A and B are shown apart, each in its own frame.
Chain A
Amino acid sequence: MGTDRIELLQGTLDMLILRTLILGPAHGHQIAKHIQRTTDDLLQVEHGSLYPALHRLERKKWIAAKWELASRDLKREYKYYRLTSAGRKQLTREESKWKQMTSAIARVMWPIEEE
Chain B
Amino acid sequence: MRWRRRRKEREADLERELRTHLEAEAEEQGLPDEEAAYAARRALGNAGVVKEQVRESWGWTRFEQFIRDLRYSLRTLRRSPGFTLTAVLSLALGIGANTAIFTVVNAVLLRPLPFPQPHRLVQLWEAKPSKGYSDNVINPLNFLDWRDRAHSFAGMAAVLPIITNVTGAGEPVALRGMQVSPNYFSILGVRPVIGRAFLPEEGTPGKDRVTILSFGLWRSRFGGDTGVIGRKLMVNGEPSIVVGVMPRGFTMPKYRAEIWNPMTLVRSEGAGRGRYLQAIARLKDGIPLEQAQQDLQRVAHQLAAERPDFDAGWTAEAVPMLADATAKVRLPLLVLLAAVALVLMIACANVANLLLMRAAGRRQEMAVRAALGAGRRRLLQQLLSETFILAGAACLIGLAIAYGGVKGLLALIPDQSHLPRLDVVAMDARVFLFAAALSIASALLFGLIPSLQVSQIRPQQTLSSASARLTARSSFRRALVVLEIALALVLLAGAGLMLRSFQKLISVDPGFSIERVLTFTLFTSPARYQNDQKRAGYFANLLREIRSVPGVQEAGSVHFLPLMNSISGSCFSRSDEPPPVPSKARDSQFLVVSPGYFEALKIPLLAGRMFDTRDSFGKPNVVMVNRQFVKKFLSDRNPVGQKLNVCWTVQNPVEIVGVVADARQTELGTAPKPTIFIDNLQAPMYFAEIVVRTAGDPEGTLGAVERAIHRVDPDQALTHIGTLAQVFSDSVAQPRMQLVLLLVFGGLAGLLAIVGVYGVVSYSVAQRAREIGIRMALGAQVSEVGFTVLREGLLLAIAGAALGLAGALALTRLMRTLLFEIPPTDTLTLASVTGLLLFVVVLATTMPAYRAAQTDPISTLRYE
A positions within 8 Å CB-CB of B? 27-30, 33, 46-49, 51-53, 55-56, 59, 76-79
Contacts and interface: CB of A to CB of B under 8 A. Distances in A.
A53 B58 CA distance: 10
B36 to A, nearest CB: 14
B59 A48 contact: no
A83 to B, nearest CB: 18
Contacts of A49: 53
A76 B20 contact: yes
Contacts of B20: 27, 29, 76-79
Contacts of B46: 48
B45 A47 contact: yes
A29 B21 contact: yes
A76 to B, nearest CB: 7
Contact of B54 (A55, A76, A79): A55
Interface of B: 13-14, 16-18, 20-21, 23-25, 28, 43-46, 49-50, 53-54, 56-59
Contact of A51 (B18, B24, B28, B43): B18
B50 A47 contact: yes
B45 A48 contact: yes
A79 B45 contact: no
A79 B17 CA distance: 6
Sort A-B residue pairs by CB-CB distance and give the 10 closest, nearest first: A52-B57, A29-B24, A56-B57, A51-B54, A55-B57, A52-B53, A79-B17, A29-B21, A52-B54, A48-B50
A35 to B, nearest CB: 14
A73 to B, nearest CB: 9
Contacts of B18: 51
Nearest to A55: B57
Given A56-B57, A59-B57, A76-B23, 5 more contacts: A28-B17, A30-B24, A47-B21, A52-B54, A53-B57
A51 B53 contact: yes
B548 to A, nearest CB: 99
Nearest to B47: A47
A48 B17 contact: no
Given A27-B20, A48-B50, A51-B54, A79 B25 contact: no
Contacts of A78: 20, 24
Contact of A55 (B16, B49, B58): B58
Contacts of A59: 57-59
Nearest to A78: B20
A28 B21 contact: yes
Nearest to B17: A79
Contacts of A51: 14, 17-18, 50, 53-54
A78 B121 CA distance: 79
A29 B54 contact: no
A79 B13 contact: yes
A47 B56 CA distance: 14
B571 to A, nearest CB: 86
A50 to B, nearest CB: 9
A79 B54 CA distance: 15
A9 B17 CA distance: 26
Nearest to B44: A47
B25 A46 contact: no
Nearest to B58: A55
A62 B50 CA distance: 22
A46 to B, nearest CB: 7
Contacts of B25: 29
B787 to A, nearest CB: 56
Contacts of B24: 27, 29-30, 78
Contacts of A55: 54, 57-58
A51 B58 CA distance: 11
A67 to B, nearest CB: 8
Contacts of A79: 13, 16-17, 20
B166 to A, nearest CB: 79
Q: Name the residue among A28, A46, A52 with the largest chain B CB count within 10 angstroms.
A: A52
